[in-house]
Amino acid sequence: MARDLKKLISEMTLEEKAGLCSGADFWHTKAVERLGIPAVMVSDGPHGLRKQDQEGDHLGINDSIVAVCFPAACATASSFDTEMIHHMGDVIGQECQAEDLSVVLGPAVNIKRSPLCGRNFEYFSEDPFLAGKMAAAYISGVQKWDVGTSIKHFAANNQEHRRMSVNDEVSERTLREIYFPAFEEAVKKAQPKTVMCSYNKINGTYSSDNQWLLTQVLRRDWGFKGYVMTDWGAVDDRVQGIRAGLDLEMPASNGENDRKIVEAVQSGMLDEKLVDQAAERILEVIFSYVDHRHPEAVFDRDADHEKAVEIETQCAVLLQNNGVLPLKASDRIAYIGEFADKPRYQGGGSSHINSSKVTSALSSAQRKGRKVTYVKGFSADADVEDEEEIRKAVAAAVEADVAVIFAGLPDSFESEGYDRDNMKLPECQNRMIEAVLKVQPNTVVILHNGSPVECPWAERTAGILEMYLGGQGVGEATDQLLYGEVNPSGHLAESFPLHLEDNPSYLFFPGDGHTARYAEGVFVGYRYYDTKKLPVRWAFGHGLSYTTFAYDHMKVSADHMTGDSILTVSVDVKNTGSVKGKEVVQLYVRDLNKTAERPLKELKGFAKTELEPGETKTVQMQICARDLSYFEERLGDWYAPSGDYELLIGSASDDIRCSGRISFKTEKLLPLKVAGDTTIGELMSDPRTAQTVQKMMQEAGKDSPLTQSSSDAGQEAVSDKMMQEMMAGMPLKSLVSFGMMNLEQMEGLIAMLNQSL
């Protein structure tokens, strides 16, 4: 039904409009019953519903309804499968309709700047391109059911330490290239109903007060149409927030901030039209849900549990395998570590789900009659060594054909609210792994963690399977993968550095508590490791399979492109093994023009394809001018210099199989203002000034003392390259010193060049 929201707002009092701009309680918007405006409920979280009806809290302390916990974003991003996460969103959207939830608070797309961020398990990736594609697909899936999403946390929420007040010092280029694109892609492609602003300041201004962020970037640059809500308690200056484009404050403020809005309008400090605008945005989203209920929606927890299992099988990453996996039904297997019986499958904090059931790898194996023995070995929730348990584990490993150690991070090691101190597994687990490796070369390690961990024993293990935080079906999924019922197909959405100190943010994270300097700029994750040629444990995009794949016949639809071009890049992928499998094909772009401060390569395309043994498929991806570009602050826009670019296709950022070159031509020109310190090289490289300066140099250089002295110099003292480089780096003011022109001539040249520009 069509509603005249402007008419409805005209019938509201100022107090009612201001009241609509804050929550009624922890989870509900305010109702205006006399005008037929209902209250609606919002709820965490991105990987399952955390609906709380009574005593609400934002940190998962109180119980919520029994729901289904799907794999967390750390896992789903590793699927590199937009169709799969769209399906997961579809399931969650139906659950929301069945539970009368108007908005699900997710997805969370903040970039994994440091492995230590306590909330990394909720975030997709270190790469903004991948995060944006996954987020847009998830949002489209949820919103099929006329349920809203709230993409979060906008923006630069990349640590938990002092997250509610820290000031992030970060350049606009870094924001535009690394920390904004996932939001931008989701807004442009999927239009989430709401955006949640973050707690932190960005360059001195709280996100909730930041007009440039919430209005210029989000609405004008990207075309966002929904409402902006706060993270819980993120309001700084409520009146400035309305001016900036912050619509809904959550939770309620006991009327304090509503009163400030009313007083500001009455005193003339705030234009009432801005309050009307916020109210209209909120009502648009409320009624888009209220007017489109789905009575056919059901929340079938058992059916959705099976979907959670299936999804996790597509997310797990086979990091290492010397042939011991998949396990054989006849193998005698020793399961070691309490995670085999009590898996860690979700993170702590606001996304914590009250799960309907949880399967373990041990119970799944026992149900299927696997030849498995179990030794607790170490606790799933503490770092405590037990010599007797180590002895039992070693004895079991000796008797087995294969030892499978279920390792990972206890709940207390990573959670919302605080960051990790290091990248290490509990010491009791490392010691157990070392002890077992001494007696059993066929040792496999299963990892349950939300972020990278250091694995000093990795090179000596027979296999490593990264399950991440795989949701409530993680145990059954682990069993299926270990025994080859499903072929692993996940690829890492983040790099695993060898040591924490290798991470580019190491010197700056998390800051002094007041300021966090993003001094590494755009060199985040593999952009840093690849550019610096720094070895990592496992690279971004890495993932093995029980089969093998060959790449061939890479083709590009054209060898030249302009600003309006869209090129198609294709490659043939063949399953060269003996079992069916899925491969993640990745497309990277490299700038060959020696453009300053650009990463060696950047992900600009990916596709997941399933192949039978011996089957070949042609995979296609597209690139446009934006994919070649960096954000040029002098232009305030995206810019790719004319020249050559390399297109690289591979299975990981460090496993490139094919490459090709294209040329690019742009009509964009960088701004140039000529002054005395402008160099000859700058002027010669700009087509607007090159001809004039070249002619000037030819005339002025005939009798120059510099030219004369260089012609008299010995070949050993002065080379042609030296002279070329010296002249290129020489500022105009120095030409006066070397007698190539006088001061009046130089000033005239500067004026002429600036006039032509």
Evaluate whether 159 touches 166 at the Cβ level (below 8 Å): yes
Is 231 a catalytic site residue? yes
Pairing mode, strands 581-591 and 602-611: antiparallel
Burial of 572 (0-12, 13-18, 19+ CB in 10 A): middle
- The answer to whether the Cα torsion of 356, 360, 366, 370 is positive or negative is positive
* Polymer length of the chain: 757
**For residue 55, what are the CA distances in angstroms to 48, 51, 66, 411, 619?**
19, 11, 15, 23, 51
User: Is 469 strand, coil or helix?
Assistant: coil
Dist. CA 406–CA 480, nearest whole Å: 15
How many angstroms separate the CA atoms of 111 and 528, rounded? 14
Beta bridge partners of 646: 590, 661
Burial of 484 (0-12, 13-18, 19+ CB in 10 A): middle
Amino acid at 628: L
DSSP designation for 579: S
Q: Are 358 and 345 in contact (CB under 8 A)?
A: yes
Nearest to 173 by CA among 631, 551, 609: 631
- Type of residue at 749: L
User: Which of 227, 161, 13, 258 lies closest to 513 in space, CA to CA?
Assistant: 161
Tokens 């009163």: give the residue: 259
Q: Which amino acid is at 671?
A: P
CA dihedral 258, 260, 265, 268 (to 10 degrees): 180
**Out of 231, 258, 419, 591, which one is annotated catalytic?**
231
Q: How far is CA 491 from CA 182, 317, 365, 409, in A?
A: 19, 6, 25, 20
With H, G, I as helix, E, B as strand and everything else as coil, classify residue 657. Answer: strand
Q: Under DSSP, is residue 393 helix (H, G, I), strand (E, B) or coil? A: helix
3 state DSSP class of 519? coil
The whole-angstrom separation of Cα 111 and Cα 524 is 9
CA dihedral 648, 649, 650, 653 (to 10 degrees): 40
Beta strands in 157-295 (DSSP E): 167-169, 194-197, 201-202, 205-206, 227-230
AA letter at 97: Q
Are 624 and 647 a contacting pair, CB within 8 Å? Answer: no
- Active-site residues, by number, are 231
